[in-house]
Structure formats: C-alpha cells, structure tokens
Chain A
C-alpha cells in the first residue's frame, strides 16, 4: 500500500499531465459538445447564442445526403483498413525472411508513409489524370484498356481510386508494426509445429497470427479512427465529387463550419463522427477480449 506522502507525490506528478490534457483535449471536447446543442454561428458581430436542444442532431440525421456520406465513410474505412492490414501482413512476412537487400527494402517500404497526405493526393491525382496520367499510359501500353479512362471522374470508380491512394500511403505503418511483432514469434514453436506436420498456412493461422494479434489491433484501431474521419486526401483529390460520390462524413463538419459558418451545427456533425468512431473502437476491443478469453479457455 501507498503511504499518504506517496499518494500526494503521485498526484503532484500527475497534475501537469492532467492539466495539459484538460486544456488541449477535455476543454475543446466539452466546448464542442455544448456548441452542438446551440445555434452558434461564426460571425464578427456579437450575436446571442441560443440553446436549441437536439435540433442540430435531428437536422443532421434526417439529411439523406449525410446518411449516404456515413455509409460511404464506413465503406472507405472497411475497405482501406482491410486492404492495408492484408497487404501490410503479407509484406511484413516477406520482409521477415532472410534475403539479400532486406535492410534496404525495409527502409524503402516506409517511404509512402513519409509522404505528406496532400502531396500524396496531388501525386495520385496526376497519376489518374484522364489525358496525361501514368495509370492510363501504363494500362494502355500493357493492353489492359483500349482507350484512356476517367478514374476519379466516374462516380462508380472515384471512391475506390481514392482508397487505392490511401492504402498506398498507409500500409507501411501496418508493415512496420507487424514486422516488429513477427520478430517476437518464437521460432521453436513454429519449428515444432512444422515437425508435427502443420503446413505454412496452418502455422500462420494457429501460431503467427494470434501471436501478432495484439500489436495489430493497436494499428487497426489507429487506422480505423483515421480512416473514419478521412478528409484531407479526398478534399485534395476530388473535393467530394463527382456528384458527391467521394464526399465523406467529415466533409459535413468542414462544410458546416467553414463554408456555411454554422459552428453549432458543425459541432453536432463532429460529435456524431466521434461517437461512431468510439463505437467502432469499442467493438474491436470487445472482439479482441472475446478472442482472448476464448483462447484461454
């Protein structure tokens, strides 16, 4: 047990961290929550702010366009995080093997992640350009397409093309986490399983994957939060078009705030998006916990 002095010391050490957290996280959070129940507007003229209850939330949730945007965002999150994880693990397994040039390749693989999102978005927009883009040129010369295509100008394709750009940028994060975790998988265990007759796929599913699941969960949660509030890459690549087909939920926060200057309404969209992210994360943890308990039983 702690003595009274130790308890006091503990608090004294915690206070600075709590103060910083309070100022940069808690206060804005509370302020946003409060704003979301008001009709506050961005203006340079003093205007009274009225509490309007749930009106902002009702307006947001009854807007069919916002409902579409939510589904679109879930699709973006599911597909991009799914691809990043699959690709990330596969490449991490490869980089975990012994071969010449491994160190160089390990260093190179991080490059996409180091590119700023806006630069990445602009670069991919050029790659997808309908007249001068590298993608059209490549596919045309290889004979896969007979004429140049419009990649981000077609509502059916645009979101998937943005996802591709997002996956290219973010999968290295998964590679690095998975690679670090892979190095802790005991080789003896894998060897023993091989002797017992377990094939590579069986060894991966029964030993490797459960072993690296913990660290992977962390990166999946991180990427899910980021993907669900995706904005910058879409804004720079398509601006939400064509015909709103890439407009994600975060666009509504930005639009309400900076385009339409309704800070109260913008806050309600922000709270909704944060709330849904929280639900997604809780679901991950619940699933992980269940699996953990199942494993022990």
Chain B
C-alpha cells in the first residue's frame, strides 16, 4: 500500500511536470498587412494552442517588405530561428535552390492535391517538390464605386481595360472625381503585381526560354496602357508613390472610382468605420483585353513553410495543418479566401460577400505568375526601376523596357 502511494505520488509529480518537459515553443513569422489581420492570426493560434496543449506559438508580425530578409537572416540562427514562416509566391525558387525551406512533399496528404486550387499549389512548388502549404490564395480584383459609375451613366463595370478607360474618362469629364483611377505604383513589388495583371490581360510574356520577352507584345502594351492613363489624367499621379494601403485609403475616401487591390480591401472598403463609401463598393475580376482575355489576375498567393534549421518540424507541421485546415479557413474568410475549392460552394463563406466569391471564381482560374526564376528579386528590382522611369515620364515605354532587358542580362 505504502509502495503504491509512493508510486502514485511519483506519477502525480511526473504528470504535473510532464507537459512542462514536453512543451515546445514554435517561433512563427507573419506579415502585418493585407490578407488575414493580426487579430485573426492570433485567434487561430489561440484555438490551436488550446487543442495542442504541448505546443505554444510565439508570433512575430513584420511588414511584407521585411519578410524576405527576416527569413534569409534567420537561416543562420541555427535552432533559434523560425519554425514556421509565411512566404510569398515569388520566393520558392530562390528558397528551394538555397535550401532555406524544408521539402514537405511527403507530409501533404495525397488527396489534398485535387481539393486545392492549382494556383495555390504553384505558390509552394519548385521543380516538382512542395516547400510548404498554400495559405493565402490571393489575386488583385477590380473594385469600383457603383454610385460614381451610375452617375456617369454606366450600369455595369468594365469588362475590358479599354472600356475601363472610357468609363474613367466619362467620370472625369462629368467632374464626379478628379482622378478616377488609383493604383499602387510606388517603386515596389506592388507595382509589379499591377503590371503583371495588365500583362496577363494583354496576353504578354515575361521570359521565353530564359530570355527577357517583356520588351514587346503584351508586357509592352501593359506598360503603355499604364503610362497613357497617367498622361490622360485618368490615373491619380500620386499613385506613383502609393502602396496597397494608400490605394485603400484614397478609394475609401471617395477620391477614386476604380482601384486594383487584394481581397482584404473588400471587407474594409465596405466597413463604415474604415470607409466613407461603405455600401457603394463593388468588386469584380480585373478586366481583360478584347480578343486576348476575358479577365485577368496576378498570382499573389502566399504559403506557410518550415525553415531548414527548425528543430521542431513535426510540431510546426501540426500548426501549419491547423491554419490551412478547410474549416479554419472558412471561419476566417472575410479578409482572405480559402485555398479549398469546396469552400466556394459553402453558403457560410459566401454570405455577405457574394460579389467577391463570384469574382474569385473567375479570377482564381486566370491567376498569372510573376517570373518563376531564382533571381526573381533582382529581376523585379530592375523592372521596378525602369517601369517607374517610364511612369514618371523620364523615358519612353520602349526605352524603359529595353534598358530593363539589358540589365537583366547582366544578372550574375
């Protein structure tokens, strides 16, 4: 009996101390803008911790612009680096060739492949392997102020970019708003996303057989269109120093009729606390070009991966599986839409955002990738600088693109 008591005491002690020994703290890196809000991510994480008592998650939020460098810099931190990182669709090629992310192909259930959109998978794939789970399935949509369109005599939003320019011209001429269009055209990745959307609409190509192909065809037409809207006074000239949040503010302030932005703007531009035009904002797919495309989109998705130096890969995967789980994604679908095809038929997801879901069905099918090359960051920097020169009127469209192509050839 005494012995039994002794054992029971020992077991109780062990029982108490047990979770403390086994407890693992995951360091997770997220961004603090667009898509899921910090509050959403904290709530999802709290649910996860409740369901997995041995695992705690330390969250870190940084601006999108700092995400890449944080992941790279932490690669040298050994076991003290991150266990889960949010990464952009443009980085898997680079991260895979450098060995920054773990190959998680074997962890993904085989039946997931068909249940998730193909565009989402390209976010995490490089040469046949998967380096994470897609999480944020995003593309740029066309937001429009229905009131302004009606005032100018238009019952429907534009289906083509040419039609959009015509509507914008009428809105401007009627004095409804000084600059009908607002974009995120500061010298940053945001501008490349708009450029890619237009390039896709014009059926353009960035590279053909590894050589720059953006100096002619659809990519050239895209830049020419961007420049023309500035010259015609349709685009707000301050767009050239705006990021997505500026676009959202200007549009929500009723100072623009059209804006290209990510999913998250739908909920915020229709929220009276955030927007003066709440209730008047409608969303549709980015337009196409007659004879070339019916709609356009840029693949702006993001995935969750496990850095190569994480000592807690199994726990990290449990966390990723939770965040990317269909029911979790459906519960938080106001700011970011699920990666799961079936979610789009779930009335709960569509409720109150039917317009967005309808646009998403069309846009997700046509999402166009930015150049899938390991040197993407450098290619993008070169394009940013030269496109910006053209948009600022320092060079012509052809000179700008030729200069960019020449500089791309110099990449080591």
Interface residue ranges, A against B (CB under 8 Å): 41-45, 59, 63, 65, 130-131, 150, 152-155, 238-244, 255, 258-262, 265
Whether A42 lies near B187 (C-beta < 8 A) is no
Bound together, the chains give a CA A177 to CA B410 distance in angstroms of: 47
Bound together, the chains give a CA A297 to CA B308 distance in angstroms of: 68
Tell me whether A242 and B240 are in contact in the complex, defined as CB-CB below 8 angstroms, given that A44-B99, A131-B250, A258-B73 are known contacts: yes
Residues of B within 8 A of A238 (CB): 187
Whether B99 lies near A259 (C-beta < 8 A) is no
Whether A45 lies near B98 (C-beta < 8 A) is yes
Whether A259 lies near B98 (C-beta < 8 A) is no
5 A-B pairs with CB atoms under 8 Å apart are A44-B98, A241-B187, A242-B186, A242-B240, A259-B68
B69 at the interface (CB under 8 A from A): yes
B255 at the interface (CB under 8 A from A): yes
B385 at the interface (CB under 8 A from A): yes
B412 at the interface (CB under 8 A from A): yes
Given pairs A45-B99, A239-B65, 9 additional interface contacts (CB within 8 A): A42-B72, A153-B238, A239-B186, A241-B385, A242-B186, A255-B381, A259-B69, A259-B378, A261-B72
Tell me whether A243 and B392 are in contact in the complex, defined as CB-CB below 8 angstroms, given that A131-B250, A153-B241, A259-B377 are known contacts: yes
Whether B255 lies near A150 (C-beta < 8 A) is no
B254 at the interface (CB under 8 A from A): no
B389 at the interface (CB under 8 A from A): yes
Residues of B within 8 A of A43 (CB): 98-100
B172 at the interface (CB under 8 A from A): no
**In the complex, per-residue mask of B183-223: 1 if CB is within 8 Å of any chain A CB, else 0:** 00011100000000000000000000000000000000000
Whether B188 lies near A241 (C-beta < 8 A) is yes
Interface residue ranges, B against A (CB under 8 Å): 65, 68-69, 72-73, 75-76, 94, 98-100, 186-188, 237-238, 240-241, 250, 255, 308-309, 375, 377-378, 381, 384-385, 388-389, 392, 394, 407, 410, 412
Residues of B within 8 A of A255 (CB): 381
Whether B186 lies near A241 (C-beta < 8 A) is yes
Whether A243 lies near B389 (C-beta < 8 A) is yes
- The interface residues of chain B, by DSSP majority, are classed as helix
B399 CB, nearest partner CB in chain A, Å: 13
Bound together, the chains give a CA A44 to CA B81 distance in angstroms of: 13
Residues of B within 8 A of A152 (CB): 241
Bound together, the chains give a CA A265 to CA B412 distance in angstroms of: 10
Q: Which residue of A lies closest to B95 (CB)?
A: A44
Q: Which residue of B lies closest to A154 (CB)?
A: B392
Residues of B within 8 A of A63 (CB): 410
Residues of B within 8 A of A155 (CB): 392, 394
Residues of A within 8 A of B187 (CB): 238-244
B178 CB, nearest partner CB in chain A, Å: 10
Residues of A within 8 A of B100 (CB): 43-44
Residues of B within 8 A of A45 (CB): 98-99
Residues of B within 8 A of A260 (CB): 375, 377-378
**Which one of B255, B384, B385, B410 has the highest number of Cβ atoms from chain A below 10 Å of its Cβ?**
B385
Q: Which residue of B lies closest to A59 (CB)?
A: B412
Q: Which residue of A lies closest to B407 (CB)?
A: A65
Residues of B within 8 A of A44 (CB): 75, 98-100, 308-309
Question: Contacting B94 at CB < 8 Å: which of A59, A261, A265?
Answer: A261
Whether B69 lies near A258 (C-beta < 8 A) is yes
Bound together, the chains give a CA A131 to CA B241 distance in angstroms of: 11
Question: Contacting A150 at CB < 8 Å: which of B238, B384, B389?
Answer: B238
Tell me whether A131 and B388 are in contact in the complex, defined as CB-CB below 8 angstroms, given that A239-B186, A260-B375 are known contacts: no
Whether A150 lies near B98 (C-beta < 8 A) is no
B215 CB, nearest partner CB in chain A, Å: 18
B183 CB, nearest partner CB in chain A, Å: 13
Question: Contacting B241 at CB < 8 Å: which of A42, A59, A242, A262?
Answer: A242
B101 CB, nearest partner CB in chain A, Å: 9
Residues of A within 8 A of B73 (CB): 258
Residues of B within 8 A of A239 (CB): 65, 186-188
Residues of B within 8 A of A261 (CB): 72, 94, 98
Bound together, the chains give a CA A79 to CA B69 distance in angstroms of: 31
Bound together, the chains give a CA A262 to CA B237 distance in angstroms of: 36
B275 CB, nearest partner CB in chain A, Å: 15
Bound together, the chains give a CA A239 to CA B378 distance in angstroms of: 15
Q: Which residue of B lies closest to A246 (CB)?
A: B187
**Which one of A153, A238, A244, A260 has the highest number of Cβ atoms from chain B below 10 Å of its Cβ?**
A153
Residues of B within 8 A of A65 (CB): 407
- Top 3 nearest A-B pairs (CB, nearest first) are A241-B187, A153-B241, A45-B99
A225 CB, nearest partner CB in chain B, Å: 24
Whether A150 lies near B237 (C-beta < 8 A) is yes
Bound together, the chains give a CA A161 to CA B375 distance in angstroms of: 32
Whether B238 lies near A131 (C-beta < 8 A) is yes
Whether B412 lies near A242 (C-beta < 8 A) is no
Bound together, the chains give a CA A121 to CA B308 distance in angstroms of: 35
Residues of B within 8 A of A59 (CB): 412
Bound together, the chains give a CA A255 to CA B377 distance in angstroms of: 9
